[in-house]
Amino acid sequence: MSARSRTLALVASLATGALVLTGCGGDGDSSEGSGTLTMYYPVAVGGPLTDVVDELIASCSEEHDIEVEAVYSGSYEDTMTKAQTAARSGQGPDLAVLLTTDLYTLIDNELIVPLSSVDDDLSWAEDRFYPAYLASGEAEGELWSLPFQRSTIVQYHNKEIFEAAGLDPESPPTTWDELVDQATTIQAEGAAEFGVEIPSTQFGNWMFQAMAIQTGVEDTAGVDGIVDYLDDPGSVEALEWWKSMVDDGIMPSGTTEWASTPEDFLQGRTGIMWHTTGNLTNVKSNADFEFGVSMLPANTQPGSPTGGGNLYVFDKGDEDTRADAYTIAKCLTEPELAAEWSMESGYVATGPEAWETDTMAEYAEEFPQAAVARDQLEVAVGETTSHENGRVSQAINDAIAAVLTGGTEPQDGLTQLQSSIDDILAPYQG
């Protein structure tokens, strides 16, 4: 090799090294100081909703002259992961829509700020939001987040299948016994492959909480981030009921996918499904049959947990940035915008003022299914919100799957589950 080509090779290799290094360096300087807010948001239900969110944000951004960079960040879980990892390297969002159940996890990791630190007077929130929704943003005597895309579980039924099975399409089940009876009839008459589907993956813990509430179990939402309702006799009864429906074959065997349940409903494979109201618009625009929406049936009492995501202001940047983030969050929950968001997505408009807007009132009259979730709020309970939310909800889902697939009996499974959750939460026990 000649000296010249050798020098060339050296220069080339050093240049590559330098390139690699600068590539790793990131753009720490360029992204800051421009005064732009970063906001993460997930889309957890069917339908092309990113455009709608982008529009809402753009209108708030214009109104308050605050630049917002809205980042669609996948599912709730993806968004939480991204927000957490980014925040650790100081590049996190200023504002994010995350599950209400992640509240304690966010507080424990010191990622968010209480809203009283940016606004002395939060009394407006009590007028704007339903108490059931507002409550899930509260912890340690502070309000931490604003309700944005909120839901409850509702019961969808396919009216054509009901007719084919000789049932009254206008009277969906209101009790557990009726549900089992009607589902059995649907299947026996061959009107659909399955009578009912209740998803048991991803948000199976949410469905289970609904059944526990309906059986009269107290404090299913957890107290100060500690969950201990799982080995309650009512919880055991709830899981036994769920399992009996799987064993009787009126529900699919094994676990039922969260994401494929609406698909099964739309394809007419099941007569009834329990799912989030967040899927209402998806079902409405894709069903080629008449469908009804009703409150969840009661065992000893009716009820459903609330669900969905709130707007969190992150502990990042200076006070001005946080104030800006709060302004945008507050703007996004204004009645007109909340109404629009509800109509486009199917999420429940978060407060009475939103339902009183002209467009929403008109919509509710035309499409009464939309109001069911609102009416159900009367009997709704906050969803289970725990320290170490990821691990706890995974543990609950695992236990449900173990029972539904025949691995363990409800009583044993739930006793074991509660003791493992006690272990996980031991460091947080006051």
Partner 1 sequence: MTAAIPSPSAAPPPEERRRRFSLRSRLGDQLFAWALLAPAFVVLIAFTHYPIIRSAWSSAHSRGGDLGVQQYQRLLEDPVFWQVLRNNLWFALGTVPTSMALAILMAVWVNNKLRGKAFVRLAYFTPTILPMVAVASIWLFFFSPGIGPIDQLLNAVGLPTKNWLGDPSTVLPALMVMMIWKQAGFFMIFYLAGLQNMSPELEEASTLEGASRWYHFRRVTFPLLMPTTLFIFVVAVTDAFKIIDHLFIMTGGGPNNASNLLLFYIYDTAFSFFDPNYAGALTMALVVILSLIAIIQFTVLERRVHYR
Binding site for partner 1 (CB under 8 A): 1-3, 6, 9-10, 13-14, 16-17, 20-21, 24, 77, 80-81, 84-85, 105, 109, 193, 200-202, 252-257, 260, 264, 267, 269, 388, 390-391, 394, 397-399, 401-402, 404-405, 407, 427
Which residues, listed in sequence order, are joined to residue 274 by a DSSP beta bridge? 155
How far is residue 316's CA from residue 326's CA, in Å, rounded to a whole number? 12
Min dist CB 174 to partner 1, Å, is 28
Q: Which residue's CB is nearer to partner 1, number 149 or number 397?
A: 397
State which residue, 175 or 201, has the beta carbon closest to partner 1: 201
What phi, psi does 33 have (nearest 5°)?
A: 80, 0
User: What are the contacts of 321-326 at 24+ separation with CB within 8 A?
Assistant: 321/37, 321/94, 322/94, 322/113, 322/117, 322/118, 323/118, 324/37, 324/64, 324/66, 324/94, 325/37, 325/39, 325/94, 325/95, 326/115, 326/118, 326/119
Nearer to partner 1, 118 or 425 (CB): 425
Give the span between the Cα atoms of 422 and 293, in whole angstroms.
37
Cβ at position 387, least distance to partner 1 in Å:
11
The residue among 105 and 345 lying less far from partner 1, judged by its C-beta, is 105
Which residues sit opposite 158 in a β-bridge? Answer: 291
- The distance of closest approach from Cβ of residue 403 to partner 1 in the complex, given in angstroms and rounded to an integer, is 9
Give the chain's largest Cα–Cα span: 92
Least distance to partner 1, CB of residue 20, Å: 6
Q: 65: which 2 tokens?
A: 């002259």
* Cβ contact 54:43 at 8 Å: no
* Residue among 150 and 269 whose Cβ is closer to partner 1: 269
Q: How far is the CB of 101 from partner 1 (least distance, A)?
A: 13
Task: Give SS3 for 405.
Answer: coil
In this structure, how many other beta carbons lie within 10 angstroms of the beta carbon of residue 13?
10
State CA 303 to chain mean position distance. Answer: 17
Cβ closest to partner 1, residue 112 vs residue 373: 112
Tell me whether residue 154 or residue 191 sits nearer to partner 1 (CB atom): 191
Q: In whole angstroms, how close is the CB of 73 to partner 1 at the nearest point? A: 13
User: Least CB distance from residue 288 to partner 1, whole Å?
Assistant: 16
